[in-house]
Amino acid sequence: MEARLNLQSLFNDPVAGKVLRNLNAAGKALSESTLPAATQELVKLRASQINGCAFCTDMHSKDAAAAGETAQRLHLVAVWREAKVFTEAERAALELVEQGTRIADAAGGVTDEAWANAAKHYDEDQLAALVSVIALINAYNRLNVIVQQPAGDYEPGMFG
């Protein structure tokens, strides 16, 4: 399978390159936030699963594993509600990412209950980072799904 567009070569395009560099800069800023890195990877992985983004699912499962995440937890992200291996804070983040990713499927978007639960576990800066991570990974997912970016060849750290 080959991608419809080569995203790497688009970095040389005056418009697309600027957009992609800004998305990557946003990702770097979020990686430097106080939102735990493990939570960020779990959120990215869950959104990617929901959106059917093979490339991002591959990337974020491998990045999480390289950062020390266990295989058990990675395998259970898709069924986190029934799994005992996630903290209450992680569960709140996973609920928020599911509701924030499935906006079109949910009549009211993110519920007040999901927001309040996340706010019990994360301070305002972390909540802002969490919302931003959810928005950013959804943007990346859409780019990769639209161009049919193939999965399987990603190696942790290959983009930076």
pLDDT digits (tens, 9 = 90+) for 8-46: 788 889 999 999 999 999 999 999 999 999 999 999 999
pLDDT digits (tens, 9 = 90+) for 108-155: 789 999 999 999 999 999 999 999 999 999 999 999 999 999 999 999
Return the DSSP state at 105. Answer: G
Return the DSSP state at 6. Answer: -
Segments in 52-123 forming alpha helices (H): 54-66, 71-76, 88-101, 112-121
CATH number belonging to the domain at 36-146, selected among 3.40.50.970, 1.10.238.10, 3.40.50.1100, 1.20.1290.10: 1.20.1290.10
CA 87 to chain centre: 18
As a whole number of angstroms, the distance between CA 33 and CA 28 comes to 9
